[in-house]
Structure 1
Amino acid sequence: MSDPASRPDARGRDGSGGGGGGVGPVGASAGHAPVMLAETLEALGLGTREAQGHGAHGGPLVYLDCTAGLGGHASAVAALLPAGSVVVLVDLDAGNLARAAERVRAAAGGVGGAGGQGSAGCESPVSVRAVHANFAEAPHVMAGLGLRADLVLADLGFASTQVDDAGRGLSFRQDGPLDMRLDRSRGPTAAALIAGAEAGELERWLREYGEERHARRIAGAIVAARAQGPIETTGQLAGIVRGVVPRGAEPIDPATRTFQALRIAVNDELGSLDVFLEAVSRGHAGGAWLARGARVAVVAFHSLEDRPVKRAFGGLVERGLAEAVGGQPARPSEGEVAGNPRARSAKLRAVRVVG
C-alpha cells in the first residue's frame, strides 16, 4: 500500500483523480470512483448482468465486502444482486462504514435503516449488514452472523476521505497530527511508534514495509530528531526525511516510502492481509465462512500486497481447492488510469473456491 498522497499512482479505494459531474457506472459518484469496477464485477461473476440463482445450500446470495470504504464497489454489486440477497460490509473506519451502508441500501432499493428496511417501512430487496472490524476478522464476522459468503471482495486501497483529512496524518502534503490509524479507536499512533521504537526497528520497518534504500540513514535522523523533542506532526517527519534523503534521486517525494512504511506498521496491514489469506487458503471445508463455489477477489496496489495474494491463490489452485478466475492479474484500462491516476498500480486477482 503506497503512500496515499505521494505520487500520481497512489491509490484510493473510492478516490477519483478525475472528478467531473457526468453519470458514471452504478457505484460511482462524482469524485468517488471505485477502482477497476467493471473488472471486479466480472471477477465476481456479475459482469453487466443481474446475478441469478441462490447462494450456499439454496439460501440467499451473500456478498462480503471486507474493506467497504465508501461503498463504491458494494453499491454496484448490490444493484445487481437478486432479491433476498445479503450484503455484509466490513471496515475499520466507522464513519466511512456508516456512509457506505447508507449508499449501499440506496443502491439496493432501500433508503437506509438497519436490516435493509426502507424509510417507509418496506423491506429492501437486499439486506445490508454493516460491521465495524478489521478485514482480517471477516471470517469471524461471517461466523457470528451465521452466513457463508458466495462473493468476497477485499480492496486493499483506502478511501479518498481518509487521504484528504489532514487530521488522520496519512499524507505528507498537508501538515497534521502524526496519527496514521485507519481506526482511531484502537492501537498506537505513528507518533507513539516513532517515540518508542529502537533505531534498528525503525530501520526494519523502513526497509521491509517501505522498501526504502536509505532506511538506516532515515532511522538515524529520526532518532536524533526525537532526542531534541517529540515528533508529532506529518510536517515534522517529512522535513526530517527530506533533510537526509537527496531529492531528485527518484521521481517521488523523499518522504514517500517512510510514510508508507509507518502506515503499514501502525495498522499492521500486512499482518492483517496474511490472516485474511490464511482463512481463504483453508477453502470451503476449512472454515464456516466461505460457501462452496465462492468467488474471492482482491485488489492490491503494490508488490508487498500482491505477492502474498498471488502466493495464496496459487497455492489454492495447486491443491485443487480453487480455480483461477480470468487473467492473472487483471489491470485497469488506459481509460480508467487517464481519468483516475490513483488506479495506475492496481492489480486484481480472483479465485473460485471449489474445495
Structure 2
Amino acid sequence: MAGRIVVFGATGYTGVLTARALVAQGARPVLAGRNRTGLTALADELGGLEIAYADVEEPRSVRALVESGDVLVTTVGPFQRYGHAALEAAVDAGAHYLDSTGEPPFIREVFESYGPRATRSALIPAFGYDYVPGNLAAGLALDRVGDDGFRVDIGYFVGGGDLWRGLTAGSLQSVAGAATARMYSFRGRIHEERRPRVREFQVAGRSRPGLSIGSSEHFALPESYPALYEVNVYLGWFGRATRPAARGRVGAYGARAALGTMARLARRRSGKSTLTSRIVAVAYDSEGSLLTDVHLSGGDPYEFTACALSWAACQASRGMVETGALGPISAFGLAELEAGCAMAGIARVTG
C-alpha cells in the first residue's frame, strides 16, 4: 500500500508548484503549513485536498504530519534555519524525506549527521534543479566510461534572460551579502575549500565560466561510482561577474535566491518564465585526459524542481529499498532517474 505524500510549506512559491504538479500526476497530497487560509484556498483549488497545520516553531506539529512509510516533501527554507524540524520528524517516524534545498551546509548535514540515524527512512535532499540534473549528467557520463572515470566536473547554466536585470535593490543587496559557509569538494573524501574556484565549460558552442560550490553530487556520486576520486560542481549563473563573485565570495544560496526572483519576475510580466537550463558533466581519467561529456537541456529551473519533487514523491510512496541519506541515482536508479528528469523537463542533448 502506498504511503501518504505530505507537502510541508505548501503555500510557498515552490510548495504551490509542487502541490499542483503532484495533482497533475494523479496524487492526492496532504497540504501542510502554518497559513491556514492559504492552505484552505489551495486545497479547494486542487479538488478538496486534506490540509494540516504545522509550524517549525512547534516541532511536535511537524512530527504529527507523518508516520512510517509516508513521504514528507518539504520546501520550507532557508533550510539551515528552518529545515531541521522536518528532518527530525521523518527520521523519528520512519518516513521518507525529500526537500528542495540548495544550501551546501544543510546538504552536508543531511548526509553526515542525519543519514546514519535514518535506519527506517530514505533521506533524499536537494531533489530539484539543485542538484538532480548534475547527478544525472555525471551518472550518464560515468556509466559510459566505467571504472576509467576518475574525475567529473559538473556545471549548471541558465539562459533566456539576464539573471540579474530587473532585480530590486533589496534583492541585489541580499545576493551581494549572501556569502555561504565554507564550500567543499570531493577528492577521495570531502575537502573544505577556503575560496571558490572558477573554470570554463563549453556550453552550446561557446565558453562559459562557472563558480565552484558545494552540492549533493559530492556525497551522492562516490556512493554510486566507487572508482570515482574527484567531484567538482560549478554554478555558471554569473557570466562576466563570475571572477569578481569568486573574489567577493558571493555564494550559491545568494545566486539561487536571485534565480527565484528572476523566475517570479518573468512570470509576472509574461505569464510564464523565460528561463532555460543547461547542465554539463565532463569525465576525465586519472591522467587528466577527457573521456566524455554529457549535456542536458530544459526549461525553467523552478518548474523542473516542482515536477521532479512530485515524481520522486510518487516513486517513494510506493516504498524504498535503500535507507539513509541517498543521492538521486542510489534512490531510484540511473535509467529511472533519466526518465523522471525528462518528464520534469530536462533531457539529454548534443553538446
TM norm structure 1: 0.30
The structure carrying a bigger strand percent of its residues is: 2
TM norm structure 2: 0.30
Structure with the greater alpha carbon radius of gyration: 1
